[in-house]
Amino acid sequence: MISTAPTLDVVDPADGTLLDRVPDAGAEGAAEAVAAAREAARGWARTAPAERAAALKRAAAALRERADELAELQSRENGRPLAESRGGVAAGIGTIEEYAHLGPLHGGRTLAGAWEAADFALREPRGVAVALVPWNDPVAIVGGPVGACLATGNALVVKPSERAPLAVRLACEIVAGHVPEGVLVALTGGPATGRALVEHPEVDVVLHTGSVSTGREVAAACGRRLVKAVLELGGKDPLIVDEDVDPEWAAGQAASGAFANCGQVCTSVERVYVHERVLEPFAAALARRAGELVPGHPIDARSTLGPLIDERQRAIVEEHVREATAAGAEVVHGGSRIDGAGFFHEPTVLVEARDDMRIMREETFGPVAAIRAVRSFDEALAAADAGEYGLAATVLTRSQRNAQRALRELRVGTVKINAVWGGAPGGSAEPRKSSGLGMGYGPALLDEVTAQKVVHMVPAP
């Protein structure tokens, strides 16, 4: 019999070939998934935290056994070079393990009540959680909701991105094999399926990682129902290059920040404020490094630059570059799509960018470093702090004074001094301005997915 159920095509962005077709669950599928999660939620909430943690540890071990398969699947569907996908998959599994350790330790506290009373605060699972996952680093990202929600006794419905659903679906199926039926349900579908989940009356908390425009819609829908939403959204991260740093080293930092995953990281370096004294050697070194990248299929170990996720994303990058150059920016490397199969774009370095250009104001999410020269650290700091986003920022400086000013004054969730990547475990950052709401990572996520209940108890007379 020929199935007439709607499906979504999953395409290899490196060559445009069809990888797979997945069901488009729609409102009906969303309702079924939420019903299954609701059915499972009560029993899972009553399962001892140590037992839940043990199940998560077994699930993490099972994921680790299939880590290579997950990484390859992810690279094929989202174009990320295989070595980077391996890192992302390992990070996602590590996150689940961290929550398995933290879950049983996450409790309430006693309160200072009257002598004859017992007063305390409990943390309880909210019930049914929904996680809406993006495509750019999906296995790493889904580890957070899976680990935090399941460790605290919530049931979880995961909806991966329609643009790269396969690795997340497989990871969730593996984890689901280690917990009671319905505790973790993955369903594939597009924005309409996501919308149906968010609007479902039986959903108690929504964790959305994705774009600002979708985040606004999710927040509005949650607001109508007065349901908690935790939003980890897009950014337009600045990089400040101070006058006293080695321009060659700074260019290495900028290249990694702007071109890793073809610029498709929420905390990619998207705008660069460089002191005019180091502008020339910095821009030249960055252009040289861009030229050293090797575009190619992500499964080929020689490739260091994958494709963009699809034509829609490539068109945004092209439009931002075109508009900037028409308004006076100068291309010092790249600037164009790479013709042929797949959605490749040259790593691109622009100088003479201005803050009124979209390339300096809106998330580009592509392999572009747009540079503006500044005359002072003050000027750089003011420019970096402007705009609608507040996800993260990096400052390269040898001046402790400037470093301290930056970490105090920038309205962002994460400030990095002298390293575009990295950070200690446990860093729950709160995105500022339009970049999100709440804390989607780290130990604080355990608080977000639980509700605090206060108990006052005295003996009967």
Interacting residue ranges for ligand NAD, rule: CB under 6 A: 132-137, 141, 159, 161-162, 190-191, 194-195, 198, 209-211, 214, 217-218, 232-235, 266, 363, 365, 391, 436
Rounded distance between C-alpha atoms, residue 324 and residue 370, angstroms: 9
User: Shortest gap between Cβ of 350 and ligand NAD (angstroms)?
Assistant: 20
User: Shortest gap between Cβ of 138 and ligand NAD (angstroms)?
Assistant: 9
Per the CB < 8 A criterion, the answer to whether 239 and 338 are in contact is no
User: Shortest gap between Cβ of 160 and ligand NAD (angstroms)?
Assistant: 6
Two tokens, residue 434: 């339009």
User: Shortest gap between Cβ of 433 and ligand NAD (angstroms)?
Assistant: 12
Nearer to ligand NAD (CB atom), residue 233 or residue 279: 233
206 bridge partner residues:
130, 229
Nearer to ligand NAD (CB atom), residue 195 or residue 345: 195
User: Shortest gap between Cβ of 301 and ligand NAD (angstroms)?
Assistant: 25
Rounded distance between C-alpha atoms, residue 373 and residue 258, angstroms: 17
**In this structure, which amino acid lies at residue 29?**
G
User: Shortest gap between Cβ of 13 and ligand NAD (angstroms)?
Assistant: 13
User: Shortest gap between Cβ of 302 and ligand NAD (angstroms)?
Assistant: 27
Nearer to ligand NAD (CB atom), residue 191 or residue 443: 191
Nearer to ligand NAD (CB atom), residue 213 or residue 452: 213
Nearer to ligand NAD (CB atom), residue 30 or residue 324: 30
User: Shortest gap between Cβ of 243 and ligand NAD (angstroms)?
Assistant: 30
Nearer to ligand NAD (CB atom), residue 308 or residue 381: 308
Rounded distance between C-alpha atoms, residue 31 and residue 12, angstroms: 30
Of 155, 160, 179, give the one whose Cα is nearest residue 62: 179
Nearer to ligand NAD (CB atom), residue 357 or residue 391: 391
User: Shortest gap between Cβ of 352 and ligand NAD (angstroms)?
Assistant: 26
User: Shortest gap between Cβ of 175 and ligand NAD (angstroms)?
Assistant: 18
How close are the terminal C-alpha atoms of the chain, in Å?
71
HEC-encoded secondary structure of the chain:
CCCCCCEEEEECCCCCCEEEEEECCHHHHHHHHHHHHHHHHHHHHHCCHHHHHHHHHHHHHHHHHCHHHHHHHHHHHHCCCHHHHHHHHHHHHHHHHHHHHHHHHCCCEECCCCCCCEEEEEEEECCEEEEECCCCCHHHHHHHHHHHHHHCCCEEEEECCCCCCHHHHHHHHHHHCCCCCCCEEECCCCHHHHHHHHHCCCCCEEEEECCHHHHHHHHHHHHHHCCEEEEECCCCEEEEECCCCCHHHHHHHHHHHHHHHHHCCCCCEEEEEEECCCHHHHHHHHHHHHHHCCECCCCCCCCCECCCCCHHHHHHHHHHHHHHHHCCCEEEECCCECCCCCCCECCEEEECCCCCCHHHHCCCCCCEEEEEEECCHHHHHHHHHCCCEECEEEEECCCHHHHHHHHHHCCCCEEEECCCCCCCCCCCCCCEECCEECCCCCCHHHHHCEEEEEEEECCCC
Nearer to ligand NAD (CB atom), residue 52 or residue 416: 416
Nearer to ligand NAD (CB atom), residue 137 or residue 243: 137
Nearer to ligand NAD (CB atom), residue 29 or residue 153: 29
User: Shortest gap between Cβ of 378 and ligand NAD (angstroms)?
Assistant: 28
Rounded distance between C-alpha atoms, residue 401 and residue 62, angstroms: 48
User: Shortest gap between Cβ of 245 and ligand NAD (angstroms)?
Assistant: 27
Nearer to ligand NAD (CB atom), residue 75 or residue 209: 209
Nearer to ligand NAD (CB atom), residue 296 or residue 438: 438
